[in-house]
Amino acid sequence: MSILIDILLDTVRKEFKKPAPPWQSIPLEPTDLQFLDRECNQVSEFDPKNKRQTMYQNLVKGKAPVVIARCPYGQVTVVLENPDQRGDIPWALWGRILRLYSESEKKKGSDPSFKVFVLASQSLRRFPPGNQPITPENINGGYTYRCNKETILIYRAEDATRVLLHELQHSCCLDHPEQGLDQVEAETEAWAELLWVALLSEGDTTRFHELLLRQSTWVVNQNDEVTKHMKTKASSKGPIISGSVGEEPFPWRYTLGKEEVWRRWGLLSCDNEGVSTTNSSSSSHAASLLSGESGKAEDKRSRKNDDKKQNTANPRKSLRLTFPVDAALTRRFQVKESSTML
């Protein structure tokens, strides 16, 4: 795995040496509106409260602002819940992500252009109250049709960049359906979170291992809570999701299964400094240091905002699958500090 990580970081470093792809605003095409109408008005077990339909209806009624932009590698349509979200979108990073996947598609002789639709509902991923089972309503935020680069639909703003990476894996046929849905989703999610860490590090090896430790700590602490929640009588079996053939209780594929894959890859056994991520006190201390308490000078306002973000997204309360980024990362990728999309 270390060789693959070296290749990954080298690829990301080369990407960040290039200027970010330019984006140009375009009007909403009738065919894209038809796609949204078809997708948002059908029932989906992964969106049981049909957030898609609500966002689409607001779009049609003129109540939801829409931002549509195209770069040389694809098009992104973002339907906002309110105008304040305009500064939440990491356009430069998303352009780089689409370029990286486009280059992969070009090597296969395939059309590299993507279409991404984001219905930026501000509902957060949260554990259900009491002993209620964890369902897609608590954790899912997007889908696509496999091997189809024009059908990526994200219907929750929180963690949208990680969802984009996950769905790009499916849309580019990089998964292995013969392994069964649960295992496919676990491995796809494992890759998405590894790629997310690599991209946030911009290919810098030291920064990558620091962020990898933060993500590892987030995963372990969150899955401790997932395990306890799933052991309760009412939520032990979880919902039945089509295609899972009862292999694992939901949401194993996005949580415990993903952690198993990272452990198999050696990403959760020991961090770069020798601190075991299974040691809760050591890992929590390390994560605290790396989240802005390492002694570097910071202005009080940024530190207060970081603390506030950490308080509102705790791995033992939140089902966001990647750690909430701090002010330094939001500044680096040019989004508002309150943004959850990064």
Quote the pLDDT of residue 19.
98
The total domain count for the chain is: 1
Q: Is residue 78 part of a domain?
A: yes
Quote the pLDDT of residue 22.
98
Show the low-confidence residues of the chain (pLDDT under 70): 105-112, 233-247, 269-312
Which amino acid is located at 331 in the chain? R
Q: Tell which phi-psi region holds residue 168, choosing left (phi > 0), alpha (psi between -120 and 50) or beta.
A: alpha
Q: Is residue 237 part of a domain?
A: yes
Q: Is residue 69 part of a domain?
A: yes
- CA torsion, points 79, 81, 85, 91, in degrees to nearest 10? -20
Quote the pLDDT of residue 316.
87
Quote the pLDDT of residue 304.
45
Quote the pLDDT of residue 241.
62
**Tokens matching residue 7:** 């290749």
* Residue owning tokens 């359906």: 177
Q: Is residue 264 part of a domain?
A: yes
Tens of pLDDT, residues 218-254:
999 999 999 999 887 555 455 556 554 446 788 999 9
Q: Is residue 19 part of a domain?
A: yes
Q: Is residue 320 part of a domain?
A: yes
Quote the pLDDT of residue 250.
87
Cis peptide before 251 (omega within 30 of 0): yes
Q: Is residue 338 part of a domain?
A: no
* Residue owning tokens 């935020």: 141
Quote the pLDDT of residue 243.
52
Could you tell me which of 118, 121, 144 has the C-alpha nearest to residue 51? Answer: 121
Please answer whether residues 200 and 4 qualify as being in contact, where contact means their C-beta atoms are separated by less than 8 angstroms.
Answer: no
How do 152-154 and 142-143 pair as beta strands? antiparallel
Q: Is residue 337 part of a domain?
A: no
- What percent of the chain is helix, strand and coil (3-state, nearest 5)? 50, 10, 40
- Write out the DSSP string of 223-267: HHHHHHHHTSGGGSS----TTSTTSS-TTGGGTHHHHHHHHHHTS
Q: What is the extent of the structural domain holding 273? A: 2-332
